[in-house]
Structure 1
């Protein structure tokens, strides 16, 4: 034996305990005893096992180990390979799905060091009948070590005895002992000890230089660092307390044990109690190249809404544009960090009671026929219905009497067509500039002769004359005006949604503060499907929130701008994005209704192209999509129902169509041109303004339908001023 006790004799003794297997040496058993006064004894067979342990293997990767009475079998932790050459791609994908497991396999707990046997250990020894496992490096440890770097002066002996006192081995009452290197307390595990110095060293510390792993995230082998530390992790980017692995060639590469053990695939809902769900398995990626981040329009984490960094690990879906931080996917954030985190984007718990909010507005509105003004006036419909003054109404906004059009679709045997985008029929209310899709409504008595196309929703004809204590302008009441005095063609810019409008207006002439009639009735609180179960409060930020952005259009929230905000989640939506984008729209480019989407569509990994303008777009901004036809379009391109040609999307605007509140139509006569000019939206084929030579595409213009003469809005107004 490789020991200082080289004078060994054999004798019989029935009260000694074998230092290797800890089985008592009974009468008539042969054993070895140290001739010095250290009471070191070994069974005869334990001596043979010790000297031959490194090479003592029997058939089929089996091992006889002194710590267990049965042979141990070597078990490999490598995943099976299903990439046979004769398999087609469809079969490979099927087998891949069937072979999917939530966690990588591992071998339980090692009986010698009490540490887990993980997948990166590649293999381990196992006794199936006893459920007994050993790390491969633990099973092959020598019984003694000489000149160990941590204790070179004496020989260290492997045992599960605790230490010696007065040259006698003993066990503590609870089986605990302290490692002389890491100062950690251990219980009932093997250690290397020196009986002369009362020096004890756990197996992990004793074999630290040998505990190296091959991890797929790094080209070099990683070495286990001694003892638990607090350090940053290059896998997740966070600070962790615990065990780390470090590259000896690249000292800056250091990953936490939890990250090193991350499964290559997982189902996110299994790690987050169903709070965040996705139907497909997510794959672990050890980097997220910056070029790919750019090409995917800078996506945000689906759990915390945070940014991604190219050098950090992520989980991503191979079938969808679903990306998530590794610690978000596995809910492995450090506990002390939780106080700095706001509630995330997953399943939320309802923070209000329905009966306490009887008139709560639920957005988005179901379709284009529904809108804020309709909901606001619905509580007054009984009052409105009593105000009908026969079948005729003289409204201050129009010079002709209005007919109450109800339950019929014809007047004097002439058909009146309701708004229908599928048939390219447009009927917009002159008050709110929203579609009229149902009866009743008011129409000009001269409408049937096509002399005047003035129409009003029933509720728009009965609007209150003033709005008191308006949130955006509490200094003065706002008065209802059919048109703003002096505004060319009645076009003005709403002070709330900042969209152009030529409908009715509530305004303060003294302060020159004007809002369209929809924005005059913005509620104090709403709910929205993009952030379900949480109340969104109407706020007007008093400080700069340039780092906060609207979830719909990704534009920043500006100072003194009305927005809807969830204070518990720091969630923002512009009022126009929340109130002006319906859940469903109809468009002549698709025979099915298109639904409003708040994030990339499931089972759609490729690029997104708008069917209207044919440009690629960012799916992290809200858009409309038909799942049946797999067609998508910008939210701003959706309302373009009367013309459909390339490049009709106004890029400088947010997700709301730029001229959503403008009713085009009517004509203008100017000096110097023999034909009347039609009020329309500029298209690419309209070229440039005949006066100032600016491009007319995306602008409000006046153009001649008989020649190529056209003016932009500003130049046309100067001709008549």
Structure 2
């Protein structure tokens, strides 16, 4: 608690003809029975606060500022004249001063002569000083009052004394080295804070100190240690200006309503955090570093919703290819044994488009993405329930080969509806590293395969999480994997394809950039969820996933409904898309089955029923072969009895 000194309300000072009145820069905290109500009202009104003017002008005696930590000062009501309290209490004669105890020191003044202070060896400021008539030495007012310049700062339980002169030292508040005035705790000698940090306001609006480069709707409160942060035991927050972590013993500004945390230097522009765009990813406003007319087909991520994707965007720019292959309403596609019928105006009778709200699933057999709108192709036998084969129009018109592919430039990649030597057509994409049983582009000679979305990854994109800067396609290596940690999932496994901003070190995996839509729907919330890159504003409760019910780290991308204050892991939401109920606790990557279309039947010897290709749940029990849990894996299970085994154990039943 601040200590307001007991002092006289008015004094007469020998250096000024008018009486001086006391002015308090800080008022004592007075608690009563209504204090709790007052605190609640203060919390409600804190958004309307005005940053205080935390100084009382300049002292006319020592010519230094009168700061808020001085608690009070004397001022003349008739003219512009102010004095520190300790300066106002100085006598005209100092007896036994610790810096010169042998002789008395007298208050005097110079008008033209330049003299250095005997204590700090710097030129005297102003024209008032103390001098010894015997030794002919001088002492400035600041050094003369040093023993009385003690402050009571809320960051520390003990009084802090001003250190003589200007020094270079590390500051216990911000952790940086400063040159200037420091205050030291004599009880805790390691604690010293620079005057600039001692003057930091208790509350501030960050936009007022960073020229609007960083903005937040609520005032930030000064916290004197990391222990002041909530959620510290579960997740370690990052600075919203420079994106670096905090040290537990240093000060920071915070908004607990929104989990908005900023280093003190970043919040006050003492180290110009907006310049961090040249060193780390910037979380505030950035200057656009490209011209739109020079990038006419630039891909802007994230995609709008689950019905939008890279392949759709790419093929929309290939109208000539689609028109050339337009065979009317019927198409004989090499990937399927039956003719395909085009539905471009309305959905066929008895067929429902993909709708996660109604738990209806309709996935394209090519890209394994939802079919939400027309046009699309459907097998002519589908209506009778004999063959559930469907394709987006653009997936039906894909080019037969891709040349000079960035990940495999030595050979041409050919379009393959199924990879013949992969059981049930399931392969692992070399680029996004997800399993898929859709179409692929591959080189059978080198056993190199990519899913059809990853076959058309552009060289550069932009992303809403890092606006106005181009993100370039890169592949991580062991030499830079620790430096290139994905901002979406916090994973840095290598080697990995991704997109990086060279100037800001902002990096996201290919799958995180391209497979996470901006808005997504699901059964657990009647409102669409939006992809969030940081904690939501005014979300004061703990974060947990509505699907898996595990804790959620708000510093890693997640989906959120502001209306219902509900959140979900990005790795859990796709299960709702595919009408599944699996739970992946604390998974950090995109859903492993996002590119798998479950369905299809398998017949094996020794079992009388057909087996369905499905996603394993807890209710499926254990594998009849390896006796391990089936949950979280691709499995084959009998729909009529409790017989099931892992996809990886299928070879035992097929030999």
TM-score by length of 2: 0.94
Match in the other structure for 1:481: 416
Conserved 8 A contact 1:614-1:646? no
For 2:139 and 2:278, the matched residues in 1 are separated by 40
Paired residue secondary structure (1:535): strand
Match in the other structure for 2:345: 407
Match in the other structure for 2:317: 379
1:156 paired with 2:92, answer no
Match in the other structure for 1:419: 354
Paired residue secondary structure (1:523): coil
Match in the other structure for 2:609: 675
Match of 1:500 among 416, 430, 435: 435
Match in the other structure for 2:599: 665
CA separation of 1:154 and 1:527: change in aligned 2, threshold 3 A:
same
Paired residue secondary structure (1:611): coil
The gaps in structure 2 that reach 5 residues or longer are 1-6
Match in the other structure for 1:686: 620
Match in the other structure for 2:74: 125
Q: Displacement, 1:95?
A: 7.1
For 1:262 and 1:562, the matched residues in 2 are separated by 44
Q: Displacement, 1:214?
A: 1.2
Match of 1:111 among 54, 60, 77: 60
Match of 1:449 among 363, 367, 384: 384
Match in the other structure for 1:393: 331
CA separation of 1:435 and 1:205: change in aligned 2, threshold 3 A:
same
1:77 paired with 2:25, answer yes
Paired residue secondary structure (2:226): coil
For 1:395 and 1:433, the matched residues in 2 are separated by 17
Once the two structures are superposed, residues 530-587 of structure 1 have per-residue CA deviations (whole angstroms, 9 ceiling, x without a partner) of 00111111112343322431110011152x4211101111111111000000000111
Higher Rg of the two aligned structures:
1
Once the two structures are superposed, residues 252-278 of structure 1 have per-residue CA deviations (whole angstroms, 9 ceiling, x without a partner) of 111111111111111111111111111
Match of 1:514 among 416, 428, 449: 449
CA separation of 1:186 and 1:80: change in aligned 2, threshold 3 A:
same
Conserved 8 A contact 1:548-1:557? no
For 1:244 and 1:397, the matched residues in 2 are separated by 76
Q: Displacement, 1:657?
A: 1.4
For 1:628 and 1:342, the matched residues in 2 are separated by 33
1:62 paired with 2:6, answer no
CA separation of 1:79 and 1:488: change in aligned 2, threshold 3 A:
farther
Paired residue secondary structure (2:66): coil
Q: Displacement, 1:630?
A: 1.3
Paired residue secondary structure (1:209): helix
Q: Displacement, 1:408?
A: 2.3
State the superposition RMSD in angstroms: 2.3
Once the two structures are superposed, residues 486-519 of structure 1 have per-residue CA deviations (whole angstroms, 9 ceiling, x without a partner) of 1011001111111010000011112111110101
Greater mean deviation of Cα atoms: 248-257 or 192-201: 192-201
Match of 2:285 among 347, 350, 354: 347
Once the two structures are superposed, residues 93-145 of structure 1 have per-residue CA deviations (whole angstroms, 9 ceiling, x without a partner) of 36752783323632111111111111111111011321321000000001112
Paired residue secondary structure (1:157): strand
Q: Displacement, 1:717?
A: 3.6
Paired residue secondary structure (2:62): coil
1:179 paired with 2:113, answer no
1:194 paired with 2:146, answer no
Conserved 8 A contact 1:104-1:264? no
CA separation of 1:680 and 1:647: change in aligned 2, threshold 3 A:
closer
Paired residue secondary structure (2:57): coil
Paired residue secondary structure (1:92): helix
Match in the other structure for 1:146: 95
Q: Displacement, 1:641?
A: 2.5
Q: Displacement, 1:289?
A: 2.3
Conserved 8 A contact 1:290-1:310? no
Match of 2:154 among 216, 225, 229: 216
CA separation of 1:96 and 1:642: change in aligned 2, threshold 3 A:
closer
For 2:640 and 2:173, the matched residues in 1 are separated by 67
After superposition, where does 1:563-578 map in structure 2 within 5 Å?
Answer: 563-578=498-513
Conserved 8 A contact 2:321-2:397? no
1:707 paired with 2:641, answer yes
1:462 paired with 2:410, answer no
Equivalenced residues, count? 646
For 1:149 and 1:518, the matched residues in 2 are separated by 80
For 1:614 and 1:649, the matched residues in 2 are separated by 10
Match in the other structure for 2:482: 546
Q: Displacement, 1:342?
A: 4.4
The gaps in structure 1 that reach 5 residues or longer are 1-56, 163-170
For 2:216 and 2:638, the matched residues in 1 are separated by 54
Once the two structures are superposed, residues 628-649 of structure 1 have per-residue CA deviations (whole angstroms, 9 ceiling, x without a partner) of 1111111111122278787612
Greater mean deviation of Cα atoms: 603-612 or 427-436: 603-612
For 2:17 and 2:276, the matched residues in 1 are separated by 48
For 1:383 and 1:334, the matched residues in 2 are separated by 51
Paired residue secondary structure (1:415): coil
CA separation of 1:540 and 1:642: change in aligned 2, threshold 3 A:
closer
Match in the other structure for 2:4: none
1:434 paired with 2:369, answer yes
Match of 2:218 among 275, 280, 283: 280
Q: Displacement, 1:363?
A: 0.3
Conserved 8 A contact 1:499-1:658? yes
Match in the other structure for 2:144: 206
For 1:293 and 1:391, the matched residues in 2 are separated by 58
For 1:389 and 1:250, the matched residues in 2 are separated by 84
Paired residue secondary structure (1:227): coil
Greater mean deviation of Cα atoms: 581-590 or 318-327: 318-327
For 1:190 and 1:516, the matched residues in 2 are separated by 82
Match in the other structure for 1:18: none
Once the two structures are superposed, residues 334-393 of structure 1 have per-residue CA deviations (whole angstroms, 9 ceiling, x without a partner) of 99x989954632110111111110000000000001000011111112431242123221
Q: Displacement, 1:313?
A: 1.0
For 1:582 and 1:645, the matched residues in 2 are separated by 19
Conserved 8 A contact 1:405-1:440? yes
For 2:277 and 2:106, the matched residues in 1 are separated by 48
Q: Displacement, 1:198?
A: 3.3
CA separation of 1:713 and 1:95: change in aligned 2, threshold 3 A:
closer
1:368 paired with 2:306, answer yes
Conserved 8 A contact 1:613-1:645? no
For 2:412 and 2:277, the matched residues in 1 are separated by 44
Q: Displacement, 1:458?
A: 0.8
Q: Displacement, 1:86?
A: 3.1
For 2:382 and 2:187, the matched residues in 1 are separated by 84
Match in the other structure for 1:615: 550
TM-score by length of 1: 0.86
Conserved 8 A contact 1:404-1:442? yes
Q: Displacement, 1:605?
A: 2.1
For 2:172 and 2:119, the matched residues in 1 are separated by 27
For 1:525 and 1:642, the matched residues in 2 are separated by 28
For 1:269 and 1:130, the matched residues in 2 are separated by 36
